[in-house]
Amino acid sequence: MSRPSGPNSTKWVGRSARVARLGAKVGATHLGTAARKVFADAERRSELDTKKQLATAQHVTEELGQMKGALMKLGQMASYLDDALPEPLRAALATLQNSAPPMSAELASAVIAEELGATPDQLFAEWDPTPIAAASIGQVHRAIIIDKPTGEERAVAVKVQYPGVDTAIAADLKNANILGTILKQGFGGLNPADMVEEIKDRLTEELDYRREAANQQRFADFYRGHPTISIPDVVPEFSSSRVLTTELISGHTWSEVLDWDQDERNAIAETMFRFVFRSLYRLRSFNGDPHPGNYIFHRDGKVTFIDFGLVKDFTVDEMATFETMVRLAAVEHDVPGFRTILEGAGMLQPNAPVDTADVGTYFSRFYEPISQHRDITWTPEYASGIVRHTFDRSSPISQYASVPRAFVFIQRINLGLYALLGDLNATGNYRAIAEELWPFMQSPPSTPLGEAEAEWLKAHAAYTKK
């Protein structure tokens, strides 16, 4: 059942809160359940400094204002590229990579009460006032709810948005031309207007937790039953535009994964690669925030993906362009044809006075890992080299290159994924894996994970985005 909107929605939330409150009282007697084990295993990742807690909405607005609000998000988005960026661009972004201090327990409670009609202690069977994660626009708490149909306990993650963050970011975006100035550092031929608008639109969307809930549930439904990819389900009755409640998943952190043996790291890498490109080619969407803090890792190559606030959807025509570029560059090695599609897509100025062979060399660097059948090992040096190459203003081609709106987050996900695979020193035949995912090839499985995914995919053969 969908939630009503409009003037009566607050009353509806209040009624739901009263029902949940009754369930919470029952929950206090349930001990030792699986839900409580998950609750206990969810590591506290935020150590609060009580002197810096944000106690009021005014404090939030002031803090974000000092940190440049939306621009801080841009800095965080580029943080994994830091070492490879040109010095002027790196220095500019370095000032934008702070995170806001966490809210006080009282302020987080007030937001929940305003949004859901009751305080956390009234709503939940158990509530941890200490956040397990703090980000740029909100923070995450652990809680336990009582499932209405079954009466069983469920461990959940409750993301609470900072009050006033929407106002702070909206005000900041009115003066977002500095984004274009920063981005211009990388591309001599760039007209940053479309890029700035794309970033502004995505950041504005990220403020709406209802949109994030819909995105996350869409991915969760699609990947349900997948052998190594999982997405937590949303709990809509405990969610609103500023509160998002989902299943709580415990697992391993990125720093722990980096100490696993190479076979395990290879499996994690393959799962991440399949998630990005299966989502792109089948859903025409992907989660545009490839940060390891948004992943929860498990043994046997399993990865849980969280945080779907920044999701990019593509049109049929945009996807046709992406697929043609991959086919021409990586499969057919048709450099003149590749240049034509680049110009048509707006990535290269038409009739730019540069050699076509050089164009092919410059733009095909992204496709090197999938350009032929061979085992490769991703390295941090390769990943940072791609970034340096992308922002190399000494190349004459960079003076005529741009990043059209449709490609802004494609580039982000590519660069981010390459960086993570490099950290893992992932090894494998990624051309063979890519051929399984490409709609124009759909080759047979090339790995054990591919075989397991193929069995799962049979049940999703009719799942295509309309």
- The structural domains of the chain, with segments of one domain joined by +, span 9-247, 252-466
Cα separation, 90 vs 77, in Å, equals 12
Whether residue 319 contacts residue 279, with contact meaning beta carbons closer than 8 Å, is answered with no
The distance of Cα 71 from the centroid of its chain, to the nearest Å, equals 17
Cα separation, 146 vs 39, in Å, equals 13
Mean pLDDT is lowest, of 104-118, 189-203, 339-353, for 189-203
Nearest one of 110, 104, 96, 121 to 17, comparing CA atoms: 121
Cα separation, 96 vs 105, in Å, equals 26
- Would you call 433 exposed, middle or buried from its count of C-beta atoms within 10 A (0-12, 13-18, 19+)? buried
Average pLDDT, the chain: 80
Residue-wise burial string across 158-167, b where 16 or more C-beta atoms lie within 10 A, e elsewhere: bbbbbbbbbe
pLDDT of residue 14: 42
Mean pLDDT is lowest, of 70-79, 175-184, 274-283, for 70-79
Model's pTM, two decimal places?
0.82
Sign of CA dihedral 245, 250, 253, 257: negative
pLDDT of residue 134: 74
Nearest one of 72, 146, 59, 144 to 106, comparing CA atoms: 59
Whether residue 98 contacts residue 118, with contact meaning beta carbons closer than 8 Å, is answered with no
Confidence of residue 423 (pLDDT cuts 50, 70, 90): very high
Nearest one of 159, 140, 145 to 45, comparing CA atoms: 140
Query: Which tokens sit at 314?
Result: 């593509």
**pLDDT(310) > 90:** no
% pLDDT > 90, the chain: 49
% pLDDT > 70, the chain: 73
Specify the pairing of strand 229-230 against strand 303-305: parallel
What tens digit of pLDDT does each residue of 375-414 get? 999 998 888 787 777 666 677 888 888 888 888 778 777 8
Which residues is 211 bridged to in the sheet?
Answer: none
pLDDT of residue 58: 63
The distance of Cα 184 from the centroid of its chain, to the nearest Å, equals 24
**pLDDT(88) > 80:** no
**pLDDT(2) > 50:** no
Mean pLDDT of 167-188: 64
Percent helix, percent strand, percent coil in the chain, to nearest 5: 55, 10, 35
Confidence of residue 59 (pLDDT cuts 50, 70, 90): low
Residue-wise burial string across 134-152, b where 16 or more C-beta atoms lie within 10 A, e elsewhere: bbbbbbbbbbbbbeeeeee
Comparing 48 with 344, the larger pLDDT belongs to 344
